[in-house]
């Protein structure tokens, strides 16, 4: 018996057409004797199970009816024998593995390549196999893609359900908060020759306030604390703006603005600012998420106001809803 290696496979994947098989040799793919296998009937069955245009399906059915009867095929390395058409379709569409012992390289058959000169492998069989296997591979690939999408959708639903169930403080530990302050030297009503360009932009991460220290059970808080640098450049500016951004771990480089503050005059430019009283600048809005408060405390010695605390607060339920909506939107855009 001469051996045959399909294009693209390893030499250890050799096949032989075996004419010595008897009725007792069973094919595990059909659960019938290999000597009773009908090549034409099997080929037509495979064509009929594919979704093909009418003319293409009829063309392949015509080719299937004209195929010669093939002898049983034995895998040389492991000696397991199978009905010819069933094994050829299997290894041509899914990679070479023995259905019984899993022997084989796992390589894919290179469809469309020249089969070479092998008298026991008719050219019309190879041509039909290439056309059929190409269609079957495309279907299997599409089915695998749909299954992967379905599994991903189920995973996303599960993750979102977990987000909805997590305590807000636990969920916040998977995120980071950042404060940005822009200080301006000129007045807000400057003309064309004196644009409102920030003197300095101050950017600092905010720390999540421990739930045990929080003043409320329903509010989530993040703080930046006392900052001499922030106090120093605000003391040299006329007005400033502040914002808070959220970064969720696993969402690529996307910052979600929580609070975007409007222009506010610096505390030392306000009337009665020199009095030894505290001032709190609050940044919030009905369309924004939470409130940012910057507290200015007068120094006992100089009377100048210093930033004593920066605190961002948001309702816990609102925060959980916000994170869930961001993740939902991210998932719908195809982010892993």
Cβ atoms of 168 and 320 within 8 Å: the answer is: yes
**Cα–Cα distance measured from residue 313 to residue 224, given in angstroms and rounded to the nearest whole number:** 12
- For residues 63-76, give the mean pLDDT: 91
Query: Hey, which residues does 241 pair with through a beta bridge?
Result: 182
Average pLDDT across the chain, whole number = 83
Sign of CA dihedral 105, 111, 114, 115: positive
Segment (H or E) for 252: none
pLDDT of 202 strictly over 80: yes
Cβ atoms of 310 and 293 within 8 Å: the answer is: yes
**Residue 40: band (very low, low, confident or very high) from pLDDT cuts 50, 70, 90:** very high
Q: And the tokens for 25?
A: 């040799």
pLDDT of 335 strictly over 50: no
pTM: 0.52
Q: And the tokens for 158?
A: 């599960």
Residue 43: predicted pLDDT? 92
Segment (H or E) for 243: strand 239-248
Residue 119: predicted pLDDT? 60
Residue 206: predicted pLDDT? 92
């Amino acid at each position: 018996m001469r051996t045959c290696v399909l294009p693209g496979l390893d030499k250890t994947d050799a096949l032989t057409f075996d004419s010595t098989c008897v009725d007792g040799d069973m094919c595990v793919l059909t659960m019938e004797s290999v000597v009773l296998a009908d090549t034409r009937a099997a080929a037509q069955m495979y064509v009929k199970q594919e979704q093909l245009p009418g003319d293409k399906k009829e063309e392949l059915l015509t080719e299937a009816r004209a195929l010669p009867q093939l002898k049983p095929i034995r895998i040389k390395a492991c000696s397991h024998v199978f009905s010819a058409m069933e094994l050829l379709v299997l290894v041509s569409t899914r990679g070479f593995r023995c259905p019984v012992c899993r022997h084989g390289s796992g390589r894919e058959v290179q469809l469309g390549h020249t089969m070479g000169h092998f008298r026991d492998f008719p050219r019309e069989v190879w041509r039909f196999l290439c056309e059929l296997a190409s269609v079957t591979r495309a279907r299997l690939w599409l089915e695998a893609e749909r299954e992967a999408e379905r599994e991903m959708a189920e995973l996303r639903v599960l993750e979102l359900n977990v987000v909805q169930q997590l305590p807000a403080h636990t969920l916040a530990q998977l995120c980071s908060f950042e404060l940005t302050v822009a200080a301006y030297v000129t007045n807000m009503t400057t003309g064309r020759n004196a644009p409102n360009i920030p003197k300095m932009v101050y950017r600092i991460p905010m720390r999540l306030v421990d739930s045990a220290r929080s003043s409320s059970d329903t509010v989530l808080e993040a703080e930046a604390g006392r900052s001499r640098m922030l106090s120093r450049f605000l003391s040299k500016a006329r007005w400033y703006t502040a914002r808070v951004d959220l970064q969720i771990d696993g969402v690529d480089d996307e910052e979600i603005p929580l609070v975007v503050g409007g222009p506010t005059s610096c505390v030392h430019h306000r009337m009665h600012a020199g009095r030894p009283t505290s001032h709190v600048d609050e940044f919030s809005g009905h369309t924004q998420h939470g409130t940012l408060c910057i507290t200015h405390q007068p120094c006992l010695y100089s009377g100048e106001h210093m930033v004593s605390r920066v605190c961002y607060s948001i309702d816990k339920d609102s925060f959980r809803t916000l994170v869930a909506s961001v993740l939902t939107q991210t998932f719908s855009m195809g982010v892993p």
